[in-house]
Structure 1
Amino acid sequence: MGPDIKEPLTLPCGLVLPNRLVKAAMAEGLADKGHLPGPRISRVYGEWAKGGWGALLTGNIQVDRESLDAWKQYADACQEYGTPAIAQICHPVRQSPRGAGEWGLCGQTIAPSEIPLHIGDGVAASIVRNVVFGSPKGMSQSDIDHVVGQFVNCARVLAQCVFSGVELHAAHGYLLSKHFLQSNTRHDQYGGSAGRRARIVLDIIQQIRNVVPATFCVGIKLNSADPSASDFEDTMSQIQLFGNAGVDFLEISGGSYEDPTTQSTAAREAFFLDFATQTRERLPNIVLLLTGGFRSREGIEAALKAGVCDLVGIGRPAVLRPDFPQLLIDKTYSDQEATVAFSKVPIPFLARLLQIRVLGGGAETEYFQGQIRRIVAGLATYAP
């Protein structure tokens, strides 16, 4: 039988999580001038810090930003009440729209292969893709070395700022996801076999370990895979490689900019659970964090007791109830009360008309960003 929700967990690096509930990463949309964290993001994480979580995962942090004072204040706000804060770090690759960050309107994004983003079918989707995202440049060895260095330096800076760890974002269509791990068309040392496609991630893990304290957590987030798919065995072998490289946990998730609407369907949530079960059976020693669809004490306890996962990631319910762990752990609340239920945000008419998937997923993101802004303003949140 698996653990109880309130049971602590010691990760391989020695970091102790006080319980099994992790506030999952979400797009907060609260960066200040210079794309840095400021008082607004510290305010909302201060609220989560009081909520009794086992750990807080930040929204994704792009690896090319550095300002020690700003990140130190962010880390302090997250960990004011003793909850470990793990910073999710990523590179947006071809999913970065023109003008975002430091790219500029005429800048060209990079990707493992020169494959443009697919955001939907039809002429309208193609026009939007070309205007908003453009086509990426295939990465040279120099580009790869530079990106590896960015990840390593970002982790080093965050460790100096006293974050408890980092999570490499290798899901949702970002640089380290399927473009390297699964479907890149390279013919060099980063393409071909499953192990060669995983090389950039393994290099990043090893080099991060060389520049951070031994107790600093290094996790990784991957998309789930269909056990019946032809590349499932490749995914399992890559997970084994990451485990051997010393990752402290593996988070299982799904979706991408190309198909974001799959992230919150009931079928997809069951898909995560099935993939986690398969991963647990094959690789029982890897710490698994399962994120997606959990809303209630009963559901979370069932997954933990069945041994399917070691940790449960909570996203949108954490926005509607920043003290969600207290609701679940406090047994004065019945199982019927210990839940946060809400409806799906409707897909905008324009997204359905133009067949542009990213707009559908954007409606969910925008709604919950609005609720996060209400927390910042000291207002009550409300469900869709």
Structure 2
Amino acid sequence: MPSPLADPVQLPCGLVLPNRLSKAAMAELLAKTNQPNKPLSEAYSQWAQGGWGSILTGNVQVDVNHLGSPYDPALHQEYKGEASLIAQWKPYADVCQKHGTPTIVQICHPGRQSFRIAGYRGMFASTIAPSAIPISLGSGLIERLVSCVAWTAPREMTKGDIERVIRQFVDTARLMADAGFSGVELHGAHGYLIDQFLSGKTNIRNDEYGGTPEKRARFVLEILTEIRKAVPATFAIGIKLNSADHSSATFEETMTQIKLLVNAGIDFMEISGGTYEDPSMMGYSTSTSTPNSNTTPIKSERTAAREAFFLEFAKEVRARFPGLVLMLTGGFRSRVGAESAIRDGACDLVGIGRPAAIEPGFPLRLLDESVGDEEARLPLNKVPAPFYTRWLPKNIIGAGLETTYYSGQISRLARGLATFAPTWS
């Protein structure tokens, strides 16, 4: 029987994804000048021929002054339709889609999570955030020291700051559309700026952008509305949102915000989770780490059986918003796990990240009916930690090791070299 993973999916904008497998966004760390370049294109040429139903790029930052990493591609200036900027981005779009795979650009602003060494604003300049709440990795001396060294204290955004960042999101989306990409995904997860506005933990404003779940959602809703006005009707606009452990009150607030996004006409929603303070998107959580281990996965027994990190949250979203196209990302390693999520009704699209860095043609194996279920899988160990990391915060070290390791594999893809799964030392 054909796998449900092979089914095409049509988004509300009309864009058709030829199957349900999406190469999820990962940090590439390849844009040394913060612009698209040959190494980035070479890596994506591998995924372009990998049989994916869609490709999501890593972060493209909307402001070169505020980067998530020193090597993120970014918008360097206000976009006014310049042919030179289109010419800079079009080869990247063409490579990604040369075999017909729709490619969606993840656009982002890190807000308070912009590292000191990332961005053109200077090492001592403040980051920006909805409220002036600094990042905290913990209350211990080492945790506080690492936080201070890694990030400057944020300042609360003014109304002018908010309007400027909204324009930057719109400019970036217009440039991606003009360059030929198939859509954009607003990064509203992992503690970045949109997520900071949505969360009552990081947004304590009492103006029109804070104070209630609806007001905290205004920032992203204005971004969505203005992008929709500026791009073709067939250009997809999605969003990545956090799934995290909620109290009943905050869970309902999240559902209220999702309803607003659905009503605003979002084309798809990707469910992920975690922040730098609690990196559950990498399979780590401060709530489950032990003092002597930085490799404690966050899966419950039931979730582990189905692989996905955020399955239960996605199923609740599906139950409340049955017409919303859902992508679930985090933890998928096999055909059986991916098919289970689809057949259970938890999602329409399966996002696959780290296996894609090891095997760029992973979908070809999952969709090949001649390959048995035992072979249609790619289990991955956690990246082993060097001994000297034992004194550092477990949450940030665990996530940092994973990001560094897999960006290294993406670099190998870009250079035409063989890739390797992590092994225990």
Letter in 1 for 2:271: I
Matched, 1:380 2:398: no
Deviation, 1:255, is: 1.1
Q: Deviations over 1:292-317 (max 9, x none)?
A: 10100111111111211000000001
Deviates further, 59-68 or 305-314 = 59-68
Q: Which residue of 1 aligns with 2:299?
A: 267
Matched, 1:86 2:124: no
Q: Which residue of 1 aligns with 2:405?
A: 367
SS of alignment partner, residue 137 of structure 1? strand
Take 1:240 and 1:24, find their aligned partners in 2: how far apart are those partners? Answer: 24
SS of alignment partner, residue 106 of structure 1? coil
Matched ranges for 1:51-200 at <5 A = 51-64=50-63, 65-66=75-76, 67-183=85-201, 184-200=203-219
Deviation, 1:266, is: 4.7
Runs of 4+ displaced beyond 6 Å: none
Deviates further, 345-354 or 208-217 = 345-354
Distance 1:235 1:97, change over 3 A: same
Distance 1:114 1:20, change over 3 A: same
Take 1:222 and 1:3, find their aligned partners in 2: how far apart are those partners? Answer: 27
Take 1:347 and 1:85, find their aligned partners in 2: how far apart are those partners? Answer: 34
Take 1:170 and 1:162, find their aligned partners in 2: how far apart are those partners? Answer: 23
Q: Which residue of 1 aligns with 2:231?
A: 212
Letter in 2 for 1:8: P
Take 2:381 and 2:421, find their aligned partners in 1: how far apart are those partners? Answer: 7
Q: Deviations over 1:63-94 (max 9, x none)?
A: 02153222111111100000000000000111
Matched, 1:305 2:304: no
Q: Which residue of 2 aligns with 1:50?
A: 49
Q: Deviations over 1:163-209 (max 9, x none)?
A: 10000000001000044343211010111111110000000000000
Q: TM-score, normalised by structure 1?
A: 0.96
Take 1:121 and 1:88, find their aligned partners in 2: how far apart are those partners? Answer: 33
Deviation, 1:228, is: 4.8
Whether the 8 Å contact between 2:107 and 2:187 is mirrored in structure 1 is: yes
Matched, 1:26 2:26: yes
Q: Deviations over 1:344-371 (max 9, x none)?
A: 1124444431325322211011111111
1:344 to 373, 382, 388: 382
SS of alignment partner, residue 125 of structure 2? coil
Deviation, 1:262, is: 5.7
Whether the 8 Å contact between 1:3 and 1:305 is mirrored in structure 2 is: no
Distance 1:155 1:296, change over 3 A: same
Q: Deviations over 1:203-243 (max 9, x none)?
A: 00000000000000000000013365420001011101101
Distance 1:334 1:266, change over 3 A: farther
Deviates further, 359-368 or 8-17 = 359-368
Letter in 2 for 1:190: Y
Deviates further, 21-30 or 61-70 = 61-70
Deviation, 1:271, is: 5.2
List gaps (5 residues or longer) in structure 2.
64-74, 77-84, 284-296
Q: Which residue of 2 aligns with 1:234?
A: 253
Q: Deviations over 1:253-279 (max 9, x none)?
A: 011111225632351765510001111
SS of alignment partner, residue 159 of structure 1? helix
Letter in 2 for 1:159: A
Take 1:87 and 1:341, find their aligned partners in 2: how far apart are those partners? Answer: 27
Deviation, 1:107, is: 1.4
Whether the 8 Å contact between 1:9 and 1:16 is mirrored in structure 2 is: yes
Take 1:5 and 1:75, find their aligned partners in 2: how far apart are those partners? Answer: 25
Distance 1:230 1:287, change over 3 A: same
Take 1:347 and 1:381, find their aligned partners in 2: how far apart are those partners? Answer: 19
Q: CA RMSD in A?
A: 1.7
Take 1:13 and 1:211, find their aligned partners in 2: how far apart are those partners? Answer: 14
Q: Deviations over 1:135-155 (max 9, x none)?
A: 100101011001111101110
Distance 1:121 1:352, change over 3 A: farther
Aligned residues: 382
SS of alignment partner, residue 240 of structure 2? strand
Deviation, 1:48, is: 0.2
List gaps (5 residues or longer) in structure 1.
none
Q: Which residue of 1 aligns with 2:317?
A: 279
Take 1:178 and 1:229, find their aligned partners in 2: how far apart are those partners? Answer: 20
Take 1:328 and 1:178, find their aligned partners in 2: how far apart are those partners? Answer: 36
Deviates further, 145-154 or 218-227 = 218-227
Percent of residue pairs bearing the same amino acid type = 54
Take 1:348 and 1:194, find their aligned partners in 2: how far apart are those partners? Answer: 42
Deviates further, 2-11 or 15-24 = 2-11
Take 1:261 and 1:229, find their aligned partners in 2: how far apart are those partners? Answer: 20
Distance 1:326 1:12, change over 3 A: same
Deviates further, 62-71 or 364-373 = 62-71
Q: Which residue of 2 aligns with 1:12?
A: 12
Deviation, 1:19, is: 0.2
Take 1:113 and 1:178, find their aligned partners in 2: how far apart are those partners? Answer: 9
Deviates further, 83-92 or 221-230 = 221-230
Q: Which residue of 2 aligns with 1:223?
A: 242
Matched, 1:249 2:248: no
2:373 to 335, 339, 344: 335
Take 1:267 and 1:88, find their aligned partners in 2: how far apart are those partners? Answer: 26
